[in-house]
């Protein structure tokens, strides 16, 4: 009888690569993620996926470290590059015309039916593993410990531009008036700290592209959309390993 017993801790994980999408999805709907395949697929190991974001590929957030955990999800198929977001941002945060806190990029789609282009709004991703704050020699840029916003203390900035080089998202410019690097702070000083619920760009968007919210609140739209299994959600440059808090989706 002993020979029939499976020694579970000695089984070799055969990898989840060959598991069908349907099977994985079935488990996801039950709130489980398949982490291992054993004994020719007859045994699976699973773990709970509750409170995990699907967007960051293999780098699921175990939990959201901030409260509120400010985040944005971009519905990019709705972006028309009207740039009302940029105008509102510049006015609210006094961004000079040579600089930017947010930008709209354009990507041609030569094979598209009728639609031959797509616009991509970008801004600071307020990464959980921010490279800018890691390289800053004076701690002029830092993660706010409560809400996770990547902040700038302009009085400490020496203008070495290390943060610009470290940022995978080109989210920083040198502000000559402040003589310091300037960047998006989700309008923390200009709006959020004054009781406003939305950033200026999100508020100004006429097409509902920029949905701003709290990823730590399960009733928030950002949380719901990032955690919808049937919705494709992605982040920019996931290979940078920065765990960004700006998500992208369509529809």
Partner 1 sequence: MKRITLLIITALAAMLAFSAGLVAASDDGYPDYDIIYTEPVVGVVFSHTFHVEEAGMDCDSCHDGVFEMEAQAAQAQPDYNMLALSEGRYCGVCHDGDTAFDSNSRCASCHIGVIGYNRANGIEEAAHGGH
Among the listed residues 24, 78, 224, 231, the single contact to partner 1 using CB under 8 A: 78
Decide whether 107 or 194 has the Cβ nearer to partner 1: 107
Among the listed residues 13, 77, 197, 218, the single contact to partner 1 using CB under 8 A: 77
Among the listed residues 116, 221, 237, 250, the single contact to partner 1 using CB under 8 A: 116
Among the listed residues 83, 214, 220, 225, the single contact to partner 1 using CB under 8 A: 83
Among the listed residues 20, 115, 145, 155, the single contact to partner 1 using CB under 8 A: 115
Region binding partner 1 by CB under 8 A among candidate stretches 17-25, 35-43, 53-61, 115-123: 115-123
Q: Name the one residue in this structure whose structure tokens are 């930008």.
A: 103
Q: Is residue 230 part of the contact set for partner 1 (CB under 8 A)?
A: no
Rounded distance between C-alpha atoms, residue 227 and residue 215, angstroms: 10
- Give me the 191-210 binding string for partner 1, x by CB under 8 A, dash otherwise: ---------------xx---
The binding site for partner 1 (CB under 8 A) comprises 77-84, 96-100, 104, 106, 113-119, 161, 164, 170, 172-176, 181, 206-207
């Amino acid at each position: 009888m002993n020979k029939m017993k499976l020694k579970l801790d000695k089984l070799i994980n055969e990898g989840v690569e060959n598991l069908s999408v349907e099977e994985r999805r079935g488990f996801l709907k039950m709130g489980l993620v398949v982490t291992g395949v054993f004994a020719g697929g007859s045994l699976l190991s699973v773990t709970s996926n509750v409170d995990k974001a699907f967007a960051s590929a293999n780098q699921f957030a175990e939990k959201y470290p901030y409260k509120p955990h400010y985040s944005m999800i971009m519905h990019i198929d709705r972006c028309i590059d009207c740039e009302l977001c940029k105008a509102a941002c510049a006015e609210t945060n006094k961004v000079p015309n040579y600089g930017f806190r947010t930008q709209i990029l354009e990507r041609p789609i030569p094979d598209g039916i009728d639609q031959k282009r797509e616009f991509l709004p970008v801004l600071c991703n307020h990464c959980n593993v921010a490279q800018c704050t890691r390289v800053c020699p004076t701690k002029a840029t830092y993660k706010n410990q409560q809400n996770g916003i990547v902040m700038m203390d302009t009085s400490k900035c020496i203008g070495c531009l290390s943060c610009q080089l470290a940022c995978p998202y080109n989210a920083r410019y040198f502000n000559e008036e402040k003589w310091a690097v300037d960047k998006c702070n989700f309008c923390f000083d200009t709006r959020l700290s004054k009781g406003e619920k939305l950033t200026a760009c999100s508020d100004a968007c006429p097409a509902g592209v920029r949905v701003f919210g709290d990823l730590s609140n399960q009733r928030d739209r950002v949380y719901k959309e990032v955690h919808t299994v049937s919705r494709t959600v992605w982040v920019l440059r996931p290979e940078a390993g920065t765990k960004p808090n700006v998500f992208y989706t369509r529809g």
